[in-house]
Amino acid sequence: MQGIRYFMNGSGGNIEVKKCYNTIHSCKMHFHNEISIGFVNRGCSKTEIYDKNYEVRSGTLLMIPDNMPHKCTPHDYNNWEFTMFYVDKEWFKEEFSFENIEFSYVNLDENIFLKIDRLFSEIEKNEMSMESECSLIKYISMFNHSELNYKKLPKISRIKEVKKYLKDNYLSDLKLNDLSKKANVSKYYLIRRFEQYYGLSPHQYMINLRINYAKKLLKHNKDFTDIALESGFYDQSHFTRYFKEYTGVTPMEYKRCI
């Protein structure tokens, strides 16, 4: 496959996605009005930022601030693939509470590489789900943001309120935005603090509650599709995937054992 394509993610027009396979449209110095979050799927490239050169390779996640001149030159055009998200800067700063964004990049290990590759594919195709938002925020936090200006971290009482809200409403179609408003903090800080206190993201905690509820339903003679929907999942395949991730077996295998 060869070529370049652009399309919009469903996040209210705030994310434009660019996919590049074995080609590049320009090696000239250029800049974007948006914040660029890039992921190198395959190959290597020299990236020039002002008068400095950086080597990016398969598994590199990078962030380029809006209006920062840069230039990418792949070493081999026949072995080059990357995904770039062009994110509206005001939306990004509001969502993630970042200011004074600087160029930064991180080389990922194989496990994280595969997870981000899957995440980027999901974001390309769909609107931002709570799972996608939690994951994206988590991976963006891998950058060295020591010079960014952060708001004061929320107290544990606010995070406890979110946990209780999830426990009381986990079967509802909850959005990360709902939870951040509940705690009166940004999504970024909610996820960071929630994981710090409970070891799980809000989405993971919600899914865990749904799985535990589904296990109770599986003890009765109910259809798998009905159990999936009643437990808060979109469909049976969605339910099966998460059930196996959390229990190690499929719902059918679990039912045979009880």
Stretch among 9-23, 100-114, 160-174 having the lowest mean pLDDT: 9-23
* pLDDT tier at 19, thresholds 50, 70, 90: confident
On the question of pLDDT at 149 being above 60, the answer is no
Residue 2 has pLDDT above 50, yes or no: no
pLDDT tens sequence across 162-185: 999 999 999 999 988 889 888 888
Confidence at residue 8, expressed as pLDDT on a 0 to 100 scale: 57
Residue 147, pLDDT score: 37
Q: Residue 37: beta bridge partners?
A: 63, 85
Q: Is 45 helix (H, G, I), strand (E, B) or coil?
A: strand
Which domains, from first to last, does the chain contain?
3-143 (2.60.120.280), 157-257 (1.10.10.60)
Residue 126 pLDDT exceeds 50: yes
pLDDT at 232: 95
The confidence score (pLDDT) of residue 1 equals 46
SS3 145: coil
**Which residue blocks in the chain are alpha helix, DSSP H?**
89-96, 110-125, 130-140, 156-169, 176-183, 187-198, 202-217, 224-230, 236-247, 251-257
pLDDT digits (tens, 9 = 90+) for 193-214: 888 888 888 998 999 999 999 9
> How far apart (Å, rounded) are the C-alpha atoms in residues 199 and 45?
36
pLDDT score for 219: 87
Q: Please report which confidence band the pLDDT of residue 26 belongs to, taking 50, 70 and 90 as the band edges.
A: low
Q: What is the pLDDT of residue 148?
A: 37
Half-sphere exposure of 9 (CA within 13 A, CB side): 25
Summarize pLDDT for 39-89 with one digit per residue, the tens.
Answer: 898 999 999 887 789 999 998 989 999 888 788 888 888 888 888 888 888
